[in-house]
Amino acid sequence: MASHHPVASAEIAVDSRKLGVWVFLASEVIFFASLIVSYLVLHNRVTSGPTAHEALTLTIPTINTMILLTSSVAMVLALAHLRDGNRRASIAWLLTTAWLGICFLILKAVEYSQHLHEGLTPSVNVFGSAYYTVTGFHAAHVAVGVIWILSVALGLRRRLSPQNDVLVETVGLYWHFVDLVWVAIFMVVYLLR
């Protein structure tokens, strides 16, 4: 199948699916930029209820940052092993990546429940609105990534081969992007609080 997929004949030689994911991610940059800018504009305009400084702690987000960065390494290893022809190892690393993504989501849920317990809800004030929206959209992207990784690692595992590494490479691109977005959120939302 891969060999029939359109590959450039002109100046640009890149698998069309890879280019498609790149282009899509470029578009996603603007989406998250819009959300983050909205957060920056609004988060200090709290009229009542907890502020960013009061509500946010660093423990869970720091662990979560470690988790996602580790997961990116796992994703790199998954691709490397596939290219070496070691499909089993590749799948194992893919599953590791997905598992780390799930850990991130569980910790994020724990963090949310702490916030809710302390009275920070999306509707309590404008910081709450912006905070839940930015981190929520990121978490949704992590969830989509986990599903995508699992479907590649389990659903499409027979198709994985060094010649068809694009299946892993594309989901890898996405996963690294979601990581980078988290790093940006970590800095803007947590470190600059």
Partner 1 sequence: MASSAVALPRVYEERGLLSWLTTVDHKRIGILYILGAGFFALIGGLEALFIRTQLAVPNNQVLVGEAYNQVLTMHGTTMVFLVVMPVLAGLGNYVVPLMIGARDMAYPRLNAFGVWMFLLGGLFLNLSFLLGGAPDAGWFGYAPLTAKTFSKGTGIDFWILGLQLLGISSITSSINFVSTILLLRAPGLTLNRLPLFAWTTLVTAFLILFAMPSISAALFLLFLDRHLGTHFFNPAAGGDPLLWQHLFWFFGHPEVYIMILPAMGIVSEVLPVFSRKPLFGYTAVAYSSVAIGFIGFTVWAHHMFAVGLPDVVNAFFSAASMLVAVPTAIKVFNWIATIWGGAVRYRTPFLFAAAFVALFVIGGLSGLFLAAVPVDWQVTDTYFVVAHFHYTLFGGSMFAIVAGIYYWFPKITGRFLDERLGRLHFALQFIGFNLTFFPMHFLGLMGMPRRIYTYAPGLGWESLNLLATIGAFILALGFVVFFANIARSLVAGERAPDDPWDGHTLEWLTSSPPPPYNFARIPVVHSRRPAWDRKYTGNPHARPVAEIAGENDRQEGEDAPEKPIHLPAPSIWPLVIAAGLTVFALGLVTHWLFIPIGILLFAVGLARWATQPLFPEAASHS
* Interface positions with partner 1 (CB under 8 A): 1, 3-12, 14, 16-17, 19-20, 23-24, 26-31, 34-35, 38, 41-42, 45-47, 122-123, 125-126, 128-130, 132-133, 137, 151, 155-156
Which residue's CB is nearer to partner 1, number 39 or number 93? 39
In the complex, minimum distance from the CB of residue 5 to partner 1, in angstroms, rounded to a whole number: 8
Which residue's CB is nearer to partner 1, number 47 or number 59? 47
In the complex, minimum distance from the CB of residue 187 to partner 1, in angstroms, rounded to a whole number: 19
Q: How far is CA 164 from the centre of its chain?
A: 23
In the complex, minimum distance from the CB of residue 92 to partner 1, in angstroms, rounded to a whole number: 22
In the complex, minimum distance from the CB of residue 7 to partner 1, in angstroms, rounded to a whole number: 7
